[in-house]
Structure 1
C-alpha cells in the first residue's frame, strides 16, 4: 500500500491508518481484514487525494480569503461564508488522475460484485485524531444509494462538508488553520437493508458491560441513527446470548432506495408495523459479531449494522463507546441533525414530549430555589428532595440514571419531558443556554423547537365521548399526589391500581421510628392523609388502591435516622428480608400510623373510594395478625362494604395458599410479577450471572398466576397486575385477560396505549365466541392449555 495512492481498499487498511483515511474508513478496514465479521466491500478516497485537489486547484487561497477575520458569532455571516466555500469547492474540477482512480476503483467493485452499476454509500471520514469529531462530524455529509453517475459529485460534496458553519467556528475557536484538517471519503457497497440499526456492546445508560443493547427498525439505517423513528430495543446478556429485555415499537415509516439514485421515506406495510424487526436467532448472531469486535478492540463498541432480504447481517461501522467529554461528544454528534437543530447530547429518553427553554445547571439540592418556573433542569441525578424543582421544570436532563430511576418515574408522572443517562449534560450544556429536550428520542439540541406546544407528554384532556370502553379496567400507577388531578383528567384511567406510600415517607425525610421517638407520629398521619386524600379526590368516585409502606431495609437507610434504626435489619439479601406484612406485625406502632391516615381520609375527608393493599404477603398467620391490627384501628372490610382489602401476590406461598387467603375475606389480589418470577424460579433478579434463568413467561410462573386467578374467580375475588410483564410482552397481556384478570395498572404515559391493546384483545375474544371457534393462543411459545396443570390432575 502506497500512502500517496488516491484510492486505498478496505482490505489493505487498519486502525492505525487514520491519518491516511480518517477514523471511519480505518475502522472499516480493520473490521474487513482483521476481525473477520461480514463487512460490505469498499474503498477510501484518501486524505492525500483531497490534499492534492486543494493544491492543484489553488483552492486554499480563496478559502483563506473568505475565512479571513470572520466573526463566528455572526451566525448569518458564518452561514453565508460556509455556503460560498462549499459551492466553490464543488465547482472546481477534480484532477483527472484522482477522478480516474475513483472511477476505476468503482468499476473494480462492480466486477467483484458481478453487477454493472453497484449502489454505494458515500461517507466522509475526518482525519484529525486530536480534534473532537463532535464539533463538526455531524455536519459532514453521508449519501446513500449512489451510482456511478453521481459518485464524483458526492465525493465533491463530502470534501465541501468540511466547511460547515459549525466546523469553521470550532477551528476558529481552537486556533487551527483550515488546511490542518484533511478529509477522506469512504465508498462502500450499499446493503439494501431490509432491517438495520445500531448495537452497543454495553448498556449505554447503566454502563453494564455484561449486556448488549440493539435498536432495530425497517429499511436503511439512517432512520435509526438520526433518531427519526423509534426502533425496537433488545437487551441481551453477552455471555449467554439470553434476551433479557425486548421492547417492540410501532415502526410505521422507513427509508428506502429509490430509482433516481437517492433515498426516500415510505410507509411500512401495516402488517409489519408492530412486528419485531429481528428474530431471536438474528439477535444472537448480531451480538456474537458485537462481542467479536469488542474482544478485538478490547473496548465496548457502538456498531451500525444492516440485514438484507436474504437474512444476511453486515457490519457497517464500529467505533468505541467512550465516557470522556470529548469522545462522548464525538459519538453523539455523528448523528444527523434533527429538525435543523444542533444536537448537543443524547441520553435515554424516559418521559416523552418536547420542552424548550433556558437550561439551569444545578448540582446541589440546596440550590434548587435558583430554578425559575419554565426552565430546563440539568443536574447530576435527582432524589425525592428534588421534586419541588422538578415540578417547576419544563424539562429535565440528568447525567445519571436509567428507565426506572427516580427522575424517570417522577418525570413520567409529572408529564415532563426527561432524558437520563447523558453522562455529562452538566458539562456540555451551558447555564442559560436555550435548548429543546426531546424526551422520546433522548436528544437535547440547541435552540427552541417550533413545536413548543407539543411539550406536554399527554395532550389535551381525553374526549370522554370517544373514549374506548373495555371490560378490563385500566388503572394508573402513582406516587406523587400533586399530579393526581392532571393525570385523572388527561388519561381518564379507571382508577389508581397502585398508590405508592414510599414517596410520602421520603417527603418527610425521617425514619418513622425517629419520628415516633421525637413525638412526630401525628406529622406522619397528617402528611399521609393529605397526600392520599389529594389522590382520592382527583379520581373520585373511581377507586384508588393504596399500598402500605414496603421499604426494603437498605432503602430506609437513606432517611434521617436510617443508620440508627435500620442498619441491623439489612441482611445479605434485603429483597427477601425484613419487609412487607411481617414488618407491620413486628412494628405495629408504625403501621398504625398509616392506618390512622387511611381512616382519616375515608371518614373525615369522606373519600370512601380509598382502598388498601398489603404487600409481600408470605404466610396466612402473619396476614391474619396484620388484618387484626387493621380492625383494631377501625378498618374492617367485613362491615364496611365500600372498603376493599387487596393483597400483593409476589411470593409463591400466596399463590398456593390462595384458597385460604380468599376465605379470609380479601377482596382482590394484584400480581407483582417482578418479585414473583424471582421467587418462583429462585433467581435473584439483580444478579446478572443468572439472568438467563429470569423469565416472567416461564411455565412455572405462568402456572402460579393462572392457578391463583382461577381460585380467585371461584371466590369472586378480583385480580389485577401492576408488574412490567404485560407492557413488555403483548402475549402476556392476552394471557392475563383470557384468564380473567379484571384490571391492569400502568404508568400515566401508557394508559391510552394500554387501553387500546386491551380493546383489541377483548374484541378478538368476542369474535371467537360469536363465530363459534377458538384459537389456540400461546405465550412465549407455550400453548395456554399447558398452563392449567391442575385440570390435568383433576
Structure 2
C-alpha cells in the first residue's frame, strides 16, 4: 500500500489552504475555514492521492487518459470518450482496505448513522480565472449503504463530456487534474443561500445575499428565485427584493432523499431572513473575506438560528479594471470632460450634449445620407461598399460596411467593422438585430447609401440619430468597447421577481450578452447558425455529412451555454423564411412565395421535413448528454395543440424525454394565443411571445413594408388583449410565460407585462439594464399598492 492510501482520509481539522493538491479546492477551503474557527459542519476528505492510487493500482490510468485524448469539437468522439472513461472508474472495485478506511471514518461522523453530503473537490476547481464550479458531482443525504458508490461516481464525474470539454478549453492537462471527495455531515437547513462578500461583477464592497427556504441546492441550481439582499457594509442598510419562492428542497423523512416540495402559501412571498440574520451573515462574510484577503462566494445555511458555512471560494468574475473604479460616478464625470459617456442605452454622449448623442464636431459635419438609427454609438471610418459576398474580404478592422442589406454570412466582417450602413431594412432587420448584439453602431434603411457613398470615403456614423456625416468627426479612443459598454455600471444589479433575460441572435455575441448580468437567454436563434454556413441544410449535409451539420449546431449552442451556465439558454429551432434560404448555395429548389413570412417556415417546415428536423433534435440530445442542462428548447410558429403533440412525438423519437427537459412554444399567431389552453395540456413548460410576428399577424401589417410600417404597433389594444389572456391562462396551468420579441425592450410593454404577471422578459443586449430597473420600479409600485 502506498503512503497516500495509508492516508486515504483526512479530517477537515487536519487540512488547511496549503493542502490544495491533496484535497482539492473545496476540501482545502473547508479545512481552512474549520481551522479559522468558522462554523463548518464536521467531515472528512477522501484525498486526491487516493483517487490517483485507485486508478494506478487498478491499472486503468493509461487507458483512462488515452480515452479522453480526443478532439472535443467532435461531439461523437467526445461522447464516446466520456462514456468509456466513466465506465472504467465505475466498474473498478474498491480495494478492501480502502473500503474499510472510508466506512470507518463515516461512522465517526455525528452519531455514526448521519446523513452526509458527498461532494467532488477537483484540484483545478475554484481557482482564480478558472472556475470549475459545478463541473463535478454532488450527492446529498447519503448514508453508509450508498457512500462508496457515491465516492466512485464523484471520481467518474471528472470525465463527463462537459468537464472534459471545459478542461481542455481552459488548457488543463487531463492527467494533471486529480479529484478528492468531501464527505460532510448534512445540515438540515431551514433556510439557506449564497453570499457574495463583494459585488461579483464590479467588486464594489456591497454584500449580496440570496436566500430561500430549505436546502441551498435549490438556489445554486436555479430551481427557485431567491430573495435578494444588497447590504451596505458601513451602516448595514439593506435593499431587499422579496421573490415568490414556489418550491424548496428538503430531506424526505422516510427515504432520506432530497426532494422538491411546494413552499407553504404563507411563506412564498415572505421574507426569508430578518435583520439579525443579515447581521450574522455579514459578520461571517467579513471574517471570511478578512481571512482570505479577497472577496468570497459563500454558501450558507441556518438551522435553529445557528449559521453554518458550507463552502467558500474566491469570486472569479470580478473585472480586474473594477478595482480602480470604486467611485464610478466620479470616474464617469472625469472621463466625460474629455470623452463621450454612456447613459445605459449603449449610446455615446458628451457631458454637455443634454442627452443627445454625438459630438459638437460630428454635428458640424455635412449629413450625407440618413436613415434609422438602429444600433447606438458614434464612429468614424472608411466606407467599404459591399455589393456581393466577395467584397467582404476588403473590410478591414475599423471600416464601415455599406451594403444593400446584411446577411448571416456577413457576420465575421460585421465583427471587424466599426459601423454598418444599409439601404434597406428596419429596426427588426438582420442588420439592426446583429449590430445591436455586437455593439456595432448602425444606420439602416437609408435607401441610397450604396449609390451615394464611395468606396474608401471617410464618414462618421451616428447610430442614435440615424445620420451619416462627411469626414472623421470621432477619434478612435472616443469609441466604446462593445462588451464593457453593456457591463452593469451601478454597484448592484436590480433584483426582480420577474426574470430579465437577453436575446442572442448569434453565438459571437454571447460574451457581450453574458456581461449584461441577465438572468439567462430568452431567445437564441438557431437559424443564424445555419444561415452562416452559406448553404442550405440539405446542401451542407450532402457535402459534409449529417454529423458535421449536427456538430455545427452543437458548437454554436454550446458556446452560448458555456458563457451563461448555469443560467438557462432558451434555443429556438429553425425559423428562416424561404427567401433567406433561396439566397444560399443549394437554395434554388426553395419554393417561390409571394409572402415568405406567411409561408414555409417555423414548425410547419420542421414537421414537413422531419428528417432535417431530426438533426436539430439530435443536437439538443447531444448537448444534454454532455451535461448542458441549462439548454431549453423552443419551437416557433406553432398554431395549435396538434402541432405541439407532433413535436413532442419527434422529441421522444430523438431520445429526448419531454418530462425531464425544459421546452415550450412561441406564441406568434392569434391562433396560438387563442388555443394556448389546449397547448398547455400537452406538457409545455413555457410559452414565449414573439411580438414582431404576433403584431403583424394580428394587425395585418408587414413591418418591413415602408407604406404601412407606421401602423405596426405592439401596444395596440388587440395585441395586448391577446398577450394578457395568454398570461392568465398559462398561470392557471402553471406554465411560465415570457416575451422575446423586440417589444420586450420598450418601457410601456414592460409595465404592461409585469402588471399582467409575466414570468420573464427578454430584452436586447443594450436594453437589459434599463429593463431591469423598469421591472423593479413596477414591481415595487405593485407591492406598495397592495399594502396601502
TM-score (norm 1): 0.51
Counterpart of 1:323 in structure 2 is: none
1:485 paired with 2:502, answer no
In the alignment, the residues of structure 2 paired with residue 618 and residue 592 of structure 1 have an alpha-carbon distance, to the nearest angstrom, of 20
Distance 1:391 1:573, change over 3 A: closer
Alignment partner for residue 467 of structure 1, among 484, 493, 496?
Answer: 493
The aligned runs of 1:26-425 (5 Å cut-off) are 338=362, 340-341=364-365, 343-425=367-449
Change in Cα spacing, 1:660 to 1:420, as seen in structure 2 (3 Å) is closer
Distance in structure 1 (CA, Å) of the matches to 2:450 and 2:520: 38
- Give the Cα–Cα distance (whole angstroms) in 2 for the partners of residues 447 and 689 of structure 1: 34
Question: Does residue 553 of structure 2 align to residue 528 of structure 1?
Answer: yes
Q: Out of 419, 438, 443, which is 2:468 matched to?
A: 443
Match of 2:497, SS state, is coil
Radius of gyration: which is bigger?
1
- After superposition, the Cα gap between the structure-2 partners of 1:485 and 1:618, relative to the gap in structure 1 and judged at 3 Å, is same
Match of 1:702 in 2: 720
Q: Given that residues 374 and 436 in structure 2 are in contact (C-alpha distance below 8 angstroms), is that contact kept between their aligned partners in structure 1?
A: yes
Instruction: Provide the rounded CA distance (Å) in 1 between the counterparts of 2:620 and 2:764.
Output: 23
Aligned to 1:658: 676
C-alpha displacement of 1:609: 0.7
Change (3 A) 1:706 1:382: closer
Distance, in Å, in 2 between the alignment partners of 1:409 and 1:511 is: 22
| 1:510 has 2:538 as partner | no
Q: What are the superposed Cα offsets for residues 696-742 of structure 1, whole Å, 9 maximum, x if unpaired?
A: 444443332222211211222110012233445x4332221111101
2:474 and 2:707 map into 1 onto residues whose CA distance is 44
Conservation of the 8 A alpha-carbon contact between 1:349 and 1:443: no
Deviation at 1:585, TM superposition (A): 2.2
Alignment RMSD (CA, Å): 3.6
The whole-number CA distance in structure 2 between the counterparts of 1:519 and 1:426 is 36
Q: 1:538 to 1:518 in 2, by over 3 A?
A: same
- Give yes or no for contact 1:476–1:497 (8 Å, CA) kept in 2: yes
TM-superposition CA deviations, 1:419-466 (whole Å, max 9, x none)? 234455456555555543322223334225257333335626325842
Residues 439 and 683 (structure 1 numbering): CA distance in 2 closer, same or farther, change over 3 Å? closer
- TM-score, L = length of structure 2: 0.51
* Among 639, 647, 653, the residue aligned to 1:632: 653
Check the 8 A contact 1:418/1:439 in 2, yes or no. Answer: yes
Aligned counterparts of 2:692 and 2:602: Cα–Cα separation in 1? 15
What corresponds to 1:456 in structure 2?
481
Shift of 1:518: 4.5
Q: 1:663 to 1:420 in 2, by over 3 A?
A: closer
Quick one: distance in 1 between partners of 2:696 and 2:370? 33
**Matching residue of 1:612:** 633
Count of equivalent residues = 442
Contact 1:437 1:445 in 2 (8 A): no
Cα offset for 1:693? Answer: 7.3
Q: CA deviation at 1:684?
A: 5.8
- Per-residue Cα deviation, 1:180-226 (whole angstroms, up to 9, x for no partner): xxxxxxxxxxxxxxxxxxxxxxxxxxxxxxxxxxxxxxxxxxxxxxx
Mapped to 1, the partners of 2:397 and 2:743 lie a distance apart of: 37
Q: Map Cα deviations across residues 161-188 of structure 1 (whole Å, 9 max, x no partner).
A: xxxxxxxxxxxxxxxxxxxxxxxxxxxx
What CA distance in whole angstroms lies between the structure 2 residues aligned with 1:537 and 1:417? 27
CA distance in 2, matches of 1:435, 1:340: 13
Q: Which residue of 2 aligns with 1:735?
A: 752
Aligned mate of 1:649, from 654, 667, 689: 667
Q: Residues 337 and 518 from structure 1, CA distance in 2 versus in 1: closer, same or farther, beyond 3 angstroms?
A: closer
Deviation at 1:508, TM superposition (A): 1.5
Cα 1:600/1:665, change in 2 over 3 Å: same
Q: Structure 2: 5+ residue runs without aligned partners?
A: 1-339
Question: CA 1:525/1:676 → structure 2, altered by over 3 Å: closer, same or farther?
Answer: same
Contact 1:417 / 1:439 at 8 angstroms: preserved in 2? Answer: yes
Q: Is the 8 A contact 2:441 2:463 kept in 1?
A: yes
Instruction: Determine if the alignment matches structure 1 residue 589 to structure 2 residue 611.
Output: yes
Instruction: From the superposition, tell whether residues 390 and 617 of structure 1 become closer, same or farther in structure 2 (CA, over 3 Å).
Output: same
CA distance in 2, matches of 1:433, 1:510: 33
Alpha-carbon distance between aligned partners in 2 of 1:694 and 1:424, rounded to the nearest angstrom: 24
Contact 1:356 1:452 in 2 (8 A): no
- Whether the aligned pair in 1 keeps the contact of 2:744 and 2:762 (CA below 8 Å) is no
Pick from 719, 732, 735 the counterpart of residue 717 of structure 1: 735
**Partners of 2:380 and 2:474 within 8 A in 1:** yes
Question: Structure 2 CA distance, aligned partners of 1:581 and 1:675?
Answer: 14
State the shift of 1:342 in Å.
5.3
Deviation per CA, 1:264-323, whole angstroms, max 9, x where unpaired?
A: x9979xxxx9xxxxxxxxxxxxxxxxxxxxxxxxxxxxxxxxxxxxxxxxxxxxxxxxxx
Q: Given that residues 344 and 446 in structure 1 are in contact (C-alpha distance below 8 angstroms), is that contact kept between their aligned partners in structure 2?
A: no
Q: Which moved more, 1:688-697 or 1:714-723?
A: 688-697
**Distance change >3 Å, CA 511–CA 427, structure 1 → 2:** closer
- Tell me how far 1:528 sits from its aligned partner: 0.8
Please give the secondary structure, in 2, of the residue aligned with 1:338.
Answer: helix
Instruction: Report the CA distance shift for 1:626/1:249 in structure 2 as closer, same or farther (over 3 A).
Output: closer
Question: Aligned partners of 1:747, 1:486: CA distance in 2, in Å?
Answer: 11
* d(CA) in 2 for partners of 1:402, 1:690: 12
Aligned to 2:694: 676
1:577 pairs with 2:594: no
CA apart distance, 1:370: 2.7
Q: CA deviation at 1:544?
A: 0.7
Q: Distance in 1 between matches of 2:664 and 2:479?
A: 39
